[in-house]
Amino acid sequence: MSMKEVINDLLGYEGLKIIQRPDIFNFSLDSTLLASFATINKADKMIVDLGCGNAPIPLFLSLRTKAKIYGIEIQPEIADLAKRSVELNKLENQITILEEDIKNAYLKLGVSCFDVVTCNPPYFIYKETSNINKNDYLTIARHEVKITLAEVLISANRLLKEGGRLAMVHRTDRLIDVLDAFRKYGIEPKRLRFVYPKQSSKESLIILLEGMKSKGKGNLKVLPPLYVYNENNTYTDEILEIFRYRGEVVKK
């Protein structure tokens, strides 16, 4: 293990461990919220996380389901962190990490095979004038350098079965872009939740959106808002419940 690597408890308790490289990449709260938000049914057999980073979403989802979980990550060093985090938790039989471009994932995994796709995509449109991070790892994670929102939706559509679900976290200021892309590429928005820093916050910064691969239109549900912090900057009870999640599945 590199001197720059650290091992953290994924959800703040001794259950799942994750290998981090604070100098290049740490997973965000957004990923944890997405893994908790996604609808997982008992009948689901195949799940894929697009742009999995160091695998926080696959690891969290292993608490919620016995389904086979794939993580797709294009950056070799980040994919390596993900693979070793999976091994650290002895989850190799359930989670497989592939170092691959999201756009080509269907070539390795097949078409119309997945019940659930999750994605915490790059939030920012990349322009030559973009205020990008000097850290290439973070630039790729945060800006649409390697993949655009449209390409994520095209890939999700290819991977999903009819009736399968895509769950995504994104910035609220790109809500129209996200809704437009979902419907344009055959994923009908079904559940939407706005995330606010605090109850007193003047605006939502993050959205959680789930859609279904379906020819039917409509029936979008807007869920109650999710508040991350209390006014005294401690986590809200709902966020703490997510962090403490033990899951119904005890034995793999």
Within a 10 A sphere around the Cβ of 91, how many other Cβ atoms?
18
Integer Cα distance of 32 and 134 in angstroms? 26
**Average pLDDT, whole number, for the chain?**
85
In contact, 189 and 159? CB cutoff 8 Å: no
- pLDDT tens digits along 88-98: 999 999 999 99
Read off the pLDDT of residues 224-234 as tens digits, 9 standing for 90 and up.
Answer: 999 999 999 88
How many helical (H) and strand (E) elements, i.e. helices and strands, does the chain have? Answer: 8, 11
Kindly report the pTM of this predicted structure: 0.86
Look-up of token digits 């697009």: 50
Question: What DSSP designation does 42 have?
Answer: T
Copy the structure tokens of residue 21: 């490289």
| Residue whose tokens read 């797709």 | 72
Nearest to 196 by CA among 231, 174, 228: 228
- For the chain, the residue count is 252
pLDDT in tens, 113-147: 999 999 998 765 554 554 544 444 444 445 445 67
User: pLDDT (tens digit, 9 = 90+) per residue, 139-191?
Assistant: 444 544 567 899 999 999 999 999 999 999 999 999 999 999 999 999 999 99
Any idea what DSSP says for residue 225? P
> 91 CB contacts (<8 Å, ≥6 apart)?
59, 62, 252
DSSP string, 72-100: EE--HHHHHHHHHHHHHTT-TTTEEEEE-
Task: Say if CB 226 and CB 36 are below 8 A apart.
Answer: no
Confidence of residue 11 (pLDDT cuts 50, 70, 90): low
